[in-house]
Amino acid sequence: MKNIFFYLTFFLFCITSCKNKPTEKVNTDSSNNKWWKEAVVYQIYPRSFKDSDGDGVGDLKGIISKLDYIKSLGIDVVWLNPIFSSPNDDNGYDISDYRGIMKEFGTMNDFDALLKGMHERGIKLVLDLVANHSSSEHEWFKESRSSRTNPYRDYYHWWPAEKGKPAHRWSFFDVNADAWMYDSATNAYYLHYFSRKQPDLNWENPKVRKEIFDMMNFWFDKGVDGFRMDVIPFISKDTTFPELPKEYNGDMVAYYANGPHLHEYLKEMNKEVLSKHNVMSVAEGAGVTAATAHNFVDEDRNELNMLYHFEGVSYGYVDGKFKTPDPNGYKLVGFKEIYSKWDSIFSNKGWGTIYLGNHDQPRMVTRWGNDAPEFREPSSKMLTTFLLTMRATPYYYFGDELGMSNIKFDKIEDYNDIETKNHYILLQTQKGDIKQFLEAAKISARDNGRTPFQWDATANAGFTTGTPWLKVNPNYKNVNVAAEVGNVNSCLSYFKKAVQLRKNNKVLVYGKYELLDKENPKVYAYTRGEGADKILVVLNFTKEKIDWALPVGLAIDKTPLLNNYQTFSASDAIELQPYQALVLKVK
Contact of 273 with 218, CB cutoff 8 Å: no
DSSP code per residue over 541-555: -SSS-EEEEPPTT--
Where do runs of H (alpha helix) occur along 351-458?
A: 364-367, 376-387, 418-429, 434-444
Among this protein's residues, is 247 annotated catalytic? no
CB of 431 to ligand TEU, least distance (A): 22
Nearer to ligand TEU, 156 or 524 (CB): 156
Which of residues 234 and 548 has its CB atom nearest to ligand TEU in the complex? 234
Strands (E) in 89-210, as ranges, are 97-101, 124-129, 158-160, 180-183, 188-191
Residue nearer to ligand TEU on the CB measure, 202 or 379: 202
Q: Strand, coil or helix: what is 231?
A: coil
Residue 89 interacts with ligand TEU (CB under 6 A): yes or no:
no
CB of 453 to ligand TEU, least distance (A): 18
Q: Which of 51, 110, 174, 230 binds ligand TEU (CB under 6 A)?
A: 230
Residue 137 makes contact with ligand TEU by CB under 6 A = no
Contact by Cβ (8 Å): 505, 497 = no
Residue nearest to ligand TEU (CB): 93
Q: Which one-letter amino acid corresponds to residue 171?
A: S
Choose, from 284, 343, 377, 401, the residue flagged as catalytic: 284
Kindly state the smallest distance separating residue 93's Cβ from ligand TEU, in Å.
Answer: 3
Q: Which CB atom, from 153 or from 359, has the smaller least distance to ligand TEU?
A: 359
Residue 208 C-beta: closest distance to ligand TEU, Å: 17
Is residue 376 near ligand TEU by the rule CB under 6 A?
no
Of 130 and 179, nearer to ligand TEU (C-beta) is 130
Task: Give least dist CB 94 to ligand TEU, A.
Answer: 7
Asked whether 457 and 478 are in contact (CB, 8 A), the reply is yes
Give the count of beta carbons closer than 10 Å to the beta carbon of residue 38.
Answer: 15
Residue 530 CB neighbours (<10 A): 15
Q: What is the rounded CA–CA span in Å between residue 75 and residue 126?
A: 13
- What gap in Å lies between CA 477 and CA 467, rounded to an integer? 17
β-strand partners of 229:
129, 283
Q: Is 170 helix (H, G, I), strand (E, B) or coil?
A: strand
Q: Which is nearer to ligand TEU, 360 or 514 (CB)?
A: 360
Give whichever of 93 and 415 is closer to ligand TEU, judged by the CB atom: 93
Is residue 47 a contact residue for ligand TEU (CB under 6 A)? no
| 359 sits near ligand TEU (criterion: CB under 6 A) | yes
Burial 409-433 (b: 16+ CB within 10 A, else e): beeeeebbbbbbbbbbebbeeeeee
Rounded to whole angstroms, the Cα distance separating 454 from 462 reads 7
Site for ligand TEU in 424-483 (CB under 6 A): 446
* CB 395 to ligand TEU: min, Å: 12
CB 406, CB 361: distance < 8 Å: no
232: contact with ligand TEU by CB under 6 A: no
Taking the complex as a whole, how short is the minimal distance between the CB of residue 416 and ligand TEU, in angstroms? 12
Spatial separation of the C-alpha atoms in residues 540 and 560, rounded to whole Å: 15
Does the footprint of ligand TEU cover residue 90 (CB under 6 A)?
yes
Q: How far is the CB of 541 from ligand TEU (least distance, A)?
A: 24
Q: Considering only residues 115 through 134, tell me which ones interact with ligand TEU, judged by CB under 6 A.
A: 130
Asked if 572 is an active-site residue, the reply is: no
Name the residue nearer to ligand TEU (CB basis): 90 or 343: 90
Among 101, 191, 286, 574, binds ligand TEU (CB under 6 A): 286
Choose, by CB under 6 A, the member of 79, 111, 155, 172 that binds ligand TEU. Answer: 172
Give me the phi and psi of 129, to 5 degrees please: -90, 110
Among 360, 456, 517, 575, binds ligand TEU (CB under 6 A): 360
- The angle subtended at Cα 251 by Cα 250 and Cα 254, nearest 5°, is 150
Binding status of residue 419 toward ligand TEU by CB under 6 A: yes
Q: Smallest distance from the beta carbon of 87 to ligand TEU, in angstroms?
A: 14
Calpha distance 397→388 (Å, rounded): 12
Query: Closest CB to ligand TEU among 199 and 369?
Result: 199
Torsions phi, psi of 97, nearest 5?
-155, 110
Nearer to ligand TEU, 414 or 514 (CB): 414
The answer to the question of residue 231 lying near ligand TEU (CB under 6 A) is yes
Give the residue from 291, 255, 446, 423 showing the smallest Cα distance to 360. Answer: 446
Of 191, 235, 233, 196, the residue nearest 212 (C-alpha): 235
Q: List all residues 6 or more positions away from 556 whose beta carbon is below 8 Å from its beta carbon.
A: 536, 550, 570, 584, 585, 586, 587
Q: Within 525-584, which residues bind ligand TEU (CB under 6 A)? A: none
Q: Report the alpha-carbon distance of residue 523 to residue 21 in Å, rounded.
A: 35
User: Minimum CB separation from ligand TEU for residue 408, in Å?
Assistant: 18
Residues of this chain that interact with ligand TEU (CB under 6 A) are 90, 93, 130, 172, 194, 230-231, 284, 286, 359-360, 419, 446
Question: Active-site residues: which are they?
Answer: 230, 284
